[in-house]
Chains A and B, each alone.
Chain A
Amino acid sequence: MKVILVTGRTVKQGFWKEYGKFSKAYMESVSVCYMDARDMERLGIKDGTNVQVSTKHGSTILKALKSTRGKHSGIIFVPYGPWINGVVDPETDSVGMPSFKGTQAEVEPAPEKPVLSLEELLKKQFRKLNR
């Protein structure tokens, strides 16, 4: 399903980052994807099902959660963090700022794929840790 990806701050992300980025609580607070209930229905997934979010820049596995923030069909919301950074558009339009909000993305169910831990994610994404 085609959606617009918006990343941003959440209270849990803000809270748990103070406890350390390698904590399980931090991971659980940012490796999620808030979706409109109708969009979830359309995808045939339940609250807590893993989804794959992809753009032309990359893809990631996140846990889909039902948004409590009104109706926003066609928009998914993902907290700032390393899980989504491989997916957002790095283009700065010559002003220094990447495009963290408003990127065209594709969401599909991925119930069998696991959400990686930060360590696994970094190992997968960064060559330096594999030398």
Chain B
Amino acid sequence: MRTVKHVTCPVCGCLCDDLELTIKDEKVVKVKNGCALCKAKFLGYSKHRVLKPLVRKNGRFFEVSYEEAVSRAAEILTEANYPLLYGWSMTSCEAVSAGIELAEEIGGVIDTTSTLCHGPSTLGIQDVGISSATLGQVRHRADLIVYWGSNPLIAHPRHMERYTIFRKGRFQKEKRKLIVVDVRKTETAETADIFLQIKPNMDYEVLQALRALIRDQELDVDEVAGIPTERLEEIADTMVECRFGALFFGSGLTMTRGKNRNIDAVLSLVSDLNKLTKFIAMPMRGHFNVTGADMILTWQTGYPYAVDFSLGYPRYNPGETSAVDILLREESDAALVVASDPVASLPRKAAEHLAENPLIVVDPHMSATARMADVVLPSTFVGIESGGTAYRMDHVPLPLKKIVEPPEGILSDEEILRIILSEVKRKKAEQMENP
């Protein structure tokens, strides 16, 4: 029996790094400090594992060596004209870096799950910028917290405990005020001082109304999205009167009507509030390293997601070069999925085309996507069986630890991608010699 301390949690964007794990016979048997999602992962991850590379022949999976599976994968990728490399949010920065190099080498498109969660937030930031901060700044200073279209008690269970409502900070010892805006009374909403239940698809109207109100403009309507104007005035006053406000927004804003326009509005509201007080905003990033994938893509190519290398240089045009659009237009002719389960998460029409592509999946689990694959390359659990770096939702990088040995012979995402890359290069060099 041994314990490992200060472990970073590879589940959600909170990236709590204070876990204490008890290990017995190379298995995690106890998790201290973790939330329910964290415990589910550390105690349950080893079920439904794939332990041998698989290649589909005549509709059926056959167990093969890594060598054979990698060779088949490299063949698929080298032959493809417009391959899509998708996923990347549940793996290490080091693996993403290898993935970018591979995408560049084969002239493919690399897109992350950002495209399905906070892609519109990125577009909003590119339109108007973002006033933001690290979570510790919020903890030390914020007296007003707003969760908009986000349900942290469920999706980021320790967010409120570590950074906002239930945590004291240097300049904030008293209880903070909590506003929740959502279309239904979520678990988080139940703990709020003020809950605004707005009509679905009307966030934009509410946000713009608040922008008008904080500028002391009067609204000519009695209600917006089901909320009486006087109530909105109260909210606007609360926002203006705080000393440091922090607004966290979730997919409740990015996935509804308006999408990136909602984000323009929320970021503009927060920017405007800085004329009157201090206010910051932050997207509640979901998967544990979706932020890291954005970051590396940005520093290596200039663009955060949906990067198309088919012309030999990075090109970026979400709506055109983003995964769902490519799949709906049925343009990709091969796909590599790493650390994600798009068959379970994409709209079916997009998933259908993905499944029709020669499909390579790198994943520790038999996921719905792996079930559709032509090549399955089993990998380690990043942050449990292999280490690396991940980024918290506020862009703070943290180390992921290797806590237990992986099952014998199982490689990490990074290792698998590196050997695919060198196999691709070898095959290309071969083709150059014998055209």
Contacts and interface: CB of A to CB of B under 8 A. Distances in A.
- The answer to whether A and B touch in the complex, with CB atoms under 8 Å apart, is yes
Interface of A: 4, 6-11, 14-16, 18-23, 57-58, 67, 69-72, 75, 77, 80-82, 85-86, 88-90, 92-102, 118, 122, 125-129, 131
A86 B348 contact: yes
A101 B252 contact: yes
Contact of A101 (B119, B151, B256): B256
Contacts of B201: 4, 101-102
Interface of B: 11, 36-37, 40-41, 44-45, 47-48, 59, 115-116, 119-120, 123, 151, 154-155, 183-187, 189, 197, 200-201, 251-252, 254-257, 259-260, 286, 306, 318-320, 322-325, 328, 341, 343-352, 355-356, 365-368, 371-372
A20 B286 CA distance: 18
A126 B322 CA distance: 22
Nearest to B151: A9
A92 B319 contact: yes
B120 A97 contact: yes
A86 B343 CA distance: 11
Nearest to A87: B348
B44 A19 contact: yes
B2 to A, nearest CB: 23
B165 to A, nearest CB: 18
Given A10-B154, A23-B47, A85-B348, A131 B59 contact: yes
Contacts of A85: 344-348, 351
B151 A15 contact: no
Contacts of A129: 371-372
Contacts of A131: 59
Nearest to A20: B48
A118 B341 CA distance: 13
A122 B343 contact: yes
Contacts of B349: 57, 90
A96 B306 contact: yes
Contacts of A70: 184-185, 189, 197
Nearest to A13: B154
A19 B40 contact: yes
A87 B141 CA distance: 43
A82 B120 CA distance: 22
B183 A72 contact: yes
Contacts of A122: 343, 368, 371-372
Contacts of B189: 69-70
23 contacts: A6-B184, A8-B252, A10-B154, A11-B37, A14-B155, A16-B40, A20-B365, A21-B366, A69-B185, A70-B185, A72-B183, A82-B368, A90-B350, A96-B318, A97-B255, A97-B259, A97-B260, A100-B255, A101-B200, A102-B200, A118-B368, A126-B343, A128-B356
